[in-house]
Structure 1
Amino acid sequence: MTFSLVARCAETGMLGVAISSSSPAVAARCSYTRAGVGAVASQNVTDPTLGPLTLDLMERGMSAEEAIAQMSAQSRFMEYRQVLAVDAQGRTAIHSGPNSLGIWTQAEAENVASGGNLLANDTVSQAIVDGYLSAAGHIGDRLIAAMRAGLAAGGEAGPVHSAGMQIAGKVSWPVADLRCDWTEDCPIAAIAAAWEVYKPQLDAYIQRALDPREAPSYGVPGDD
C-alpha cells in the first residue's frame, strides 16, 4: 500500500527519501536519512526498527547491498518487509519479501532505488526511477518529480492519503522533513506545495542552527 524512492544527489551528496501511501502518516514510520551515510525506506507491514538498523550498518562501513543483506539476516519476518537503501557512494539495494502485498515491484539505478506494493501495475517503480533520473535541480525537486511520475504511471491501486519527503545534507539533522499525514486530496501535491515554500528558506534554517548571528530575517512579528 506504498510506493517510494531513496536517492542521492551526485553533485551535492545530499540523500533523500520520498514516500506515499493509502495508510496514514506513512513518512513517520518509513523514512530514514543520515547525513554522509545513506537513506532508507522501510515499508510493507512496516517494522520501524529496520531503517535505523540499516543506516547503522552503513555507518559502520557496509555498502547498501551489504547492509540490506545483514539487516535481512538478523531481522524477523523479512518475508513481509520491503526495504530500500542508498549509501553515500550512490550504491543501492532492495529487499522485497515474497509476502509483499498485491502487485509489488522494485527498480534501481546508480543513486536511486524505488519500490512499491499494492500498486496499480508493474510499471510504477521503474517510472519513479526514470522520473528521478530525468529531472534536474535540487534533490527535493527531483524526489517530487519522481513521485509525480509514479503517480502518473498508476501509483497505488487505490487512492493515496499520506506522503513525506526527508532530505539529509551535511548536518546531523534532516535539512528538510515535510509530511502530509492525511488528506482526502493528493498528498504528493501537498508535499510539493510545502516544498515550494520551504526550499527558499532551507539554507537559512541551517544557518540559524549553526550560527544565528549570521541568519537572515524573514520578517516575522517581532523580528527586527
Structure 2
Amino acid sequence: MKPSIIIIHLIIMAFSINSYSQKPSDPLAHTFSIVARDANTGEMAVGVQSHWFSVGTGVSWGKAGVGVVATQSFTNRGFGINGLALLESGKTPQEALDILLSDDEGRDFRQVAILDAKGQVATHTGKSCIDFASHLNGKDFSVQANMMLTDNVVPAMEKAWKDNSTLPLAERMVAVLQAAQEQGGDIRGKQSAALLIVASEGSSKPWNDTLIDLRVDDAENPIAELDRLLKVFRAYEHMNKGDYFVEKNEMQNAMLEYNSAMQMFPKNLEMQYWTAITLANDQKIEEASAMLQKIYAQDANWRTLTQRLPKVGLLNVSEEDLKKLLQ
C-alpha cells in the first residue's frame, strides 16, 4: 500500500472513530411521552409509549414534591436521578437541563423533558434525534416525541392535553398517549407503555408518595392495556376504601365501595368474594351465601379461604351461619 493511501486510510479511520465516540452507547427509547402537572391537585406525571421493551424503566422518573423527568431517544438514565436532585436543590427545570447537557457528549441525540412542582418546564430535542422529532410545552406540561411516523404526533398530544382538562390526571395522560398513537405514533410500531404519578408534596412515608406506577412491558397494544390497568387500579381503589370502612365498622359505606368496584369488573371473583364476606359480617347471611356459592362453583379454593377467616377475625359469624356460608 502506497504511503499516501495509508495516510488517507488512517484519516478515514480517525474520523469514523471520532464520530462513533460522539454517539452515546445508552439504550434506545425512541418514543413519545408527556410530563405534566395537575393544576388542581399538584400531582405530577409521566406517560410514555414506545416500540421498545419496558420503556417505563428508563424514561420515567419522578419524586413527590419535586418534579418529574422524561429522558428518551438515546436514554441517559442519569438525567432522571440527577435531574430530580438538581430540582430538589433549588434549580429551575431550565437550569437543571442546562447542567445535565453541559458535559454530555451525546446531547445531540438526547430528548429530555423536566417539570417541577410549580409546573415550570424545560425541554430539549437534540439536533440528531431521528425524524420526526419535536416538542411543545407550556405551563404544567410538555409533550415530546422522536422517530415518529408523521409530524402530526406532537401537535395532537398538545391538543389532547388541553381538550381533556376535566379528566383526572391519570386518565388525561392516557388520552394524550392515545391521541399520539392515532396520528401514527412510533414509526416502528407499538410495544410498551408506562404511567407514573407522584404526589404534590413529599411525606414522611415516601413509599406512599408514588400514587400510580403502571407498566406494560411487552404487549401488542400497550396503550389499550395501560388504559385497562388504570381501570383495574380505580376498581381496587374502591376495594381499598371498602376495606377501610370495614375496619371502622361502617358496613353501609363499605358495601357502596365494594359495589362500585364490582360494577367496574363484574367478573372479578376477588371483588365478589370480599363483598360477600362483608355482607356476612353485616349478618346478611342468606345474601352472602348465595354470592359465595356462585364463587365456589368457579373456584373451590375460595371455600377453603372462607374456612380460615374466622380464626383471624375477618369473618365474625356463628357456627351455624358459617355452615351456611360453606355449603
What does residue 176 of structure 2 align with?
146
Contact between 1:175 and 1:202, CA under 8 Å: does it hold in 2?
no
Moved more, 20-29 or 151-160: 151-160
1:166 pairs, out of 196, 202, 221, with 196
Moved more, 167-176 or 41-50: 167-176
How many Å separate the matches in 2 of 1:101 and 1:179?
A: 25
Q: Percent identity?
A: 26
Secondary structure at the counterpart of residue 50 of structure 1: helix
Amino acid at match of 1:99: S
Counterparts of 1:1-224 in structure 2, within 5 Å, are 1-135=30-164, 136-169=166-199, 170=201, 171=203, 172=206, 173-183=209-219, 185-202=220-237, 219=274, 224=314
In proportion to residue count, which structure has more strand?
1
Amino acid at match of 1:195: L
How many Å separate the matches in 1 of 2:154 and 2:48?
A: 12
CA deviation after TM superposition for structure 1 residue 137, in Å: 2.1
How many Å separate the matches in 1 of 2:186 and 2:236?
A: 32
Amino acid at match of 2:192: S
CA deviation after TM superposition for structure 1 residue 205, in Å: 6.5
CA deviation after TM superposition for structure 1 residue 111, in Å: 0.6
Secondary structure at the counterpart of residue 44 of structure 1: strand
CA deviation after TM superposition for structure 1 residue 200, in Å: 4.0
Change (3 A) 1:200 1:62: farther
Secondary structure at the counterpart of residue 82 of structure 1: strand
Cα deviation digits, residues 88-137 of structure 1 (max 9, x gap): 11111111111112311111121110111110111211211221121122
How many Å separate the matches in 1 of 2:48 and 2:178?
A: 11
Change (3 A) 1:86 1:205: farther
Contact between 1:39 and 1:55, CA under 8 Å: does it hold in 2?
yes
Cα deviation digits, residues 181-221 of structure 1 (max 9, x gap): 011x2100000000011024348769x9xxxx77x896395
Cα deviation digits, residues 24-53 of structure 1 (max 9, x gap): 000111101111111110001111111111
Contact between 1:109 and 1:129, CA under 8 Å: does it hold in 2?
no
Q: Which has the higher contact order (CA 8 A, sep 6+)?
A: 1
Gaps of 5+ in 1: none
Contact between 1:64 and 1:85, CA under 8 Å: does it hold in 2?
yes
**When the two structures are superposed, what TM-score results if normalisation uses the length of structure 1?**
0.89
Contact between 1:6 and 1:85, CA under 8 Å: does it hold in 2?
yes
Q: How many residues in Structure 1 have an aligned counterpart in Structure 2?
A: 219
Change (3 A) 1:52 1:175: same
In proportion to residue count, which structure has more helix?
2
Gaps of 5+ in 2: 1-29, 249-253, 259-270, 275-301, 315-327
How many Å separate the matches in 2 of 1:167 and 1:203?
A: 18
How many Å separate the matches in 2 of 1:149 and 1:48?
A: 26
How many Å separate the matches in 1 of 2:59 and 2:240?
A: 24
**When the two structures are superposed, what TM-score results if normalisation uses the length of structure 2?**
0.62
Secondary structure at the counterpart of residue 159 of structure 1: coil
Change (3 A) 1:151 1:38: same
Moved more, 111-120 or 193-202: 193-202
How many Å separate the matches in 2 of 1:98 and 1:48?
A: 20
